[in-house]
């Protein structure tokens, strides 16, 4: 009886170890962790470049917005911002 119990527990332990081995082979948590670390490093090292690109886009859109405001101000008859353009309807 003791021998049967011991054999059963050893068999369960061996089955558990086989399942664990197959899981590690299938999922490979060490490789996933290494890939995650590499991706984080790439993201960290390219942060400055991404920041510069975002600043460039922001400045470009700000410039476009200012040009659009200037065109609206020049073509608006009721605006005091039109500068030297004369109101010809007077």
The answer to whether residues 29 and 60 belong to one domain is: no
Contact 77/89 with Cβ under 8 angstroms? yes
The answer to whether residues 7 and 20 belong to one domain is: yes
**Total number of domains constituting the chain:** 2
The answer to whether residues 33 and 70 belong to one domain is: no
- The 3-state DSSP class for residue 87 equals coil
pLDDT tens-digit map of 8-17: 999 999 999 9
DSSP 1: -
The predicted structure's pLDDT at residue 90: 45
Q: Which two tokens stand for residue 80?
A: 């005091």
**HSE value, Cβ hemisphere, 13 Å, CA-based, for 32:** 6
Contact 67/74 with Cβ under 8 angstroms? no
Please report, rounded to a whole number, the percentage of residues in the chain having pLDDT higher than 70. 83
- pTM higher than 0.85 for the full model? no
Residue 41 domain boundaries: 1-45
pLDDT tens-digit map of 50-60: 999 999 999 99
Q: Which two tokens stand for residue 52?
A: 């510069």
Whether residue 90 is contained in a domain is answered as no
Q: Which two tokens stand for residue 87?
A: 């109101």
């Amino acid at each position: 009886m003791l021998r049967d119990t011991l054999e059963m527990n050893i068999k369960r332990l061996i089955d558990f170890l086989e399942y664990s081995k197959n899981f590690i082979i299938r999922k490979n948590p060490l490789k996933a962790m290494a890939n995650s670390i590499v991706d984080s490093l790439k993201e960290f090292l390219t942060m400055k470049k991404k920041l510069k690109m975002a600043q460039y886009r922001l400045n470009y859109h700000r410039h476009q917005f200012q040009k659009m405001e200037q065109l609206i101000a020049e073509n608006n008859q009721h605006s005091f911002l039109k500068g030297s353009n004369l109101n010809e309807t007077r």
